[in-house]
């Protein structure tokens, strides 16, 4: 076997490999001998089929299997000897001309192919004991609990008829009948009756609810809107439409008294029990926010401490996933890069930096986990799947079967568990200092990111 490295540029390598036909023949003959005791052919007793006859019958297929196995074994040997850790699947180039393939499968020519790879660079891990990480912690106050319960009360409030001649305002519930048309023609699903709409709830097509402001019961208006470009129904996506809309009832939201009776409507014994349940829920939410802030700070520290060239193909793949998502979101919202005070070129540059960071951090976390033998057990994955299934009552078995039969989906469950275990490992070594903050400070960064 002859191996020649034809390219070595950064993380990219390419090799030309030549395996003598005699070596392939020997391996193929060995497979045929092994096959001799397993096949059953008419006219021959078990185990008595001559290898020469087997070669006539199965020679090409056995040689094809031999070539495939030889390529895998040879590549593994090349990569292992050089200490390569592959970033992507090897790209193998084989002879394609019919006469070349025939000569190869009949043992008349040597196997010559090229393999191109991209590797992960050696990663020198930082000393995690030198890391200083701040852990923001906020206490759940009585005011937080009261505010959360008020939000629940607002979501569960009743509505009452505003009376004859009353006009709808933001927050009112308007019951409507409507007939939708596109270019003057009705479309499927565009007509309905007795549909309640809360103005300002943003549950209808953008621009629909706002045009109901000031409408009175019995009044008919033509509302002009456009379906979002990413609308579920592709035939309607992006289309301008008109809805002839008649209001049949205008109702105002009623005040909700927060007391024991209200708590009972939510399935709890008393207001005290509701407050206790809300404290537990908010405590969990605050803890999750704290965890997210600590994790983000730790990832920033890891990013600072590990600067190396990320495999370009992995960065390209991550960038394309993000960019396609960003473009789809902008198309659906009708926004442009100018609306975001940037240009497409500047945005691409920024997201490519983010993609590079994500790839490098992923490789660093993987390296930490591998060197410290951090693993995710099947039980841990199973519990995560069960938790996912519980979030969809009535479809538990469907969700369970989906993950059980979908390796890619199961990997998406396993990945964040692995990441969190690596993060916990680092935090055990790092210097973590608690810092008391207010609720507003704890959630401030997330709120700003949501607004961006």
My answer on whether 323 and 430 are in the same domain is: yes
Cα angle at 118 between 112 and 121, to 5 degrees?
A: 135
Nearest to 101, CA basis, from 111, 116, 90, 91 = 111
> Among 253, 282, 313, where does a domain finish?
253
My answer on whether 39 and 108 are in the same domain is: yes
Helix (H) or strand (E) holding 21: helix 21-36
Nearest to 294, CA basis, from 449, 418, 137 = 137
Q: Residue 15's pLDDT is what?
A: 96
Residue 439 lies in a domain: yes
Q: Reduced to 3 DSSP states, what percent helix, strand and coil does the chain have, rounded to the nearest 5?
A: 50, 20, 30
Which DSSP string do the residues of 120-173 spell out, in sequence order? Answer: PPP-----GGG-EEEEEE-PPPHHHHHHHHHHHHHHT--EEE--TT-B--TT-E
Q: Residue 40's pLDDT is what?
A: 63
Total domains present in the chain: 3
Q: Residue 339's pLDDT is what?
A: 81
> Among 62, 88, 118, where does a domain finish?
118
Q: Residue 450's pLDDT is what?
A: 39
Q: What is the torsional sign of CA 69, 72, 75, 77?
A: negative
Residues 277-333: tens digit of each pLDDT: 999 999 999 999 999 999 999 999 999 999 999 999 999 999 999 999 998 888 777
Residue 97 lies in a domain: yes
My answer on whether 305 and 203 are in the same domain is: no
Q: Where are the alpha helices (DSSP H) in 157-270?
A: 260-265
My answer on whether 275 and 382 are in the same domain is: yes
C-alpha dist (Å) from residue 11 to 89, 97, 195, 311, 388: 14, 31, 60, 7, 39
Residue 126 lies in a domain: no
Residue 144 lies in a domain: no
Residues 345-362: tens digit of each pLDDT: 999 999 999 999 999 999
Check if the beta carbon of residue 386 is closer than 8 Å to that of residue 404: no
My answer on whether 113 and 65 are in the same domain is: yes
Q: What CATH number has the domain bearing residue 75? A: 3.30.70.1050
Residues of the domain holding 217: 158-253
pTM of the model: 0.73
My answer on whether 199 and 108 are in the same domain is: no
Per-residue tokens: 39: 């096949």
Residue 379 lies in a domain: yes
Residue 424 lies in a domain: yes
Q: Residue 451's pLDDT is what?
A: 36
Strand ranges (DSSP E) for 199-309? 220-226, 240-253
Residues 85-131: tens digit of each pLDDT: 999 999 999 999 999 999 999 889 999 999 999 999 999 999 999 99
Residue 69 lies in a domain: yes
My answer on whether 336 and 432 are in the same domain is: yes
My answer on whether 208 and 89 are in the same domain is: no
Q: Residue 237's pLDDT is what?
A: 84
My answer on whether 164 and 245 are in the same domain is: yes
DSSP tally for the chain: helices H, then strands E: 12, 11
Nearest to 2, CA basis, from 111, 97, 119 = 111
3-class SS of residue 69: helix
My answer on whether 294 and 436 are in the same domain is: yes
Q: Name residue 197's beta-bridge partners.
A: 174
Residue 150 lies in a domain: no
My answer on whether 319 and 441 are in the same domain is: yes
Q: What CATH number has the domain bearing residue 201? A: 3.10.50.40
Q: What CATH number has the domain bearing residue 422? A: 1.10.3120.10
Mean pLDDT per 10-residue segment, the chain (452 residues): 93 95 91 73 64 76 92 95 93 93 91 95 95 95 95 89 94 95 93 94 92 96 90 85 96 92 93 96 96 95 95 95 90 79 93 96 96 95 91 88 90 94 96 94 65 35
Q: Residue 20's pLDDT is what?
A: 95
My answer on whether 108 and 224 are in the same domain is: no
């Amino acid at each position: 076997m002859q191996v020649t490295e034809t390219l070595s540029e950064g993380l990219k390598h390419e090799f030309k490999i030549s395996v003598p036909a005699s070596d392939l023949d020997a391996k193929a003959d060995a497979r045929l001998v092994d096959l001799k005791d397993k096949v059953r052919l008419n006219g021959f007793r078990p185990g008595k089929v001559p290898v020469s006859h087997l070669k006539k019958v199965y020679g090409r297929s056995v040689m094809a299997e031999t070539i495939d196995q030889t390529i895998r074994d040879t590549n593994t040997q090349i990569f292992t000897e050089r200490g390569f850790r592959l970033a992507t699947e090897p790209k193998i180039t084989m002879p394609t001309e019919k006469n070349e393939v025939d000569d190869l499968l009949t043992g008349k020519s040597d196997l010559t192919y090229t393999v191109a790879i991209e590797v992960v660079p050696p990663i020198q891990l930082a000393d995690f004991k030198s890391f200083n990480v701040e852990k923001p912690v906020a206490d759940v106050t009585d005011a937080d609990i009261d505010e959360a319960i008020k939000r629940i009360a607002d979501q569960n409030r009743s509505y009452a008829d505003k009376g004859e001649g009353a006009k709808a305002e933001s927050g009112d519930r308007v019951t409507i009948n409507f007939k939708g048309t596109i270019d003057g023609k009705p479309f499927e699903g565009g007509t309905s009756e007795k549909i309640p709409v809360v103005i300002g709830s943003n549950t209808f097509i953008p621009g629909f609810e706002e045009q109901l402001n000031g409408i009175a019961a019995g009044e008919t208006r033509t509302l002009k809107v456009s379906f979002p470009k990413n609308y579920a129904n592709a035939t309607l996506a992006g289309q301008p439409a008109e809805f002839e809309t008649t209001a049949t009832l205008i109702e105002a939201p009623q005040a909700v008294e927060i007391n024991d009776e209200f708590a009972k409507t939510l399935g709890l014994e008393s207001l005290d029990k509701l407050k206790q349940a809300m404290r537990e829920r908010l405590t969990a939410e605050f803890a999750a926010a704290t965890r997210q802030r600590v994790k983000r700070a730790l990832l920033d520290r890891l990013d600072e401490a590990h600067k190396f060239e990320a495999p370009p193909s992995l960065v390209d793949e991550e960038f394309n996933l993000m960019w396609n998502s960003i473009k789809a979101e902008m198309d659906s919202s009708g926004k442009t890069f100018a609306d975001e005070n940037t240009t497409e070129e500047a945005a691409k540059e920024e997201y490519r930096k983010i993609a590079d960071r994500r790839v490098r951090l992923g490789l660093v976390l993987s390296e930490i986990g591998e060197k410290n033998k951090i693993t995710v057990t099947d039980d841990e994955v199973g519990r995560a799947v069960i938790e996912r299934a519980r979030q969809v009552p009535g479809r538990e078995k469907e969700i369970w079967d989906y993950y059980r039969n979908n390796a890619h989906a199961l990997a998406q469950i396993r990945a964040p568990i692995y990441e969190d275990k690596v993060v916990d490992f680092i935090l055990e070594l790092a210097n973590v200092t608690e810092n008391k903050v207010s609720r507003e400070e704890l959630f401030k960064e997330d709120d700003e990111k949501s607004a961006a």
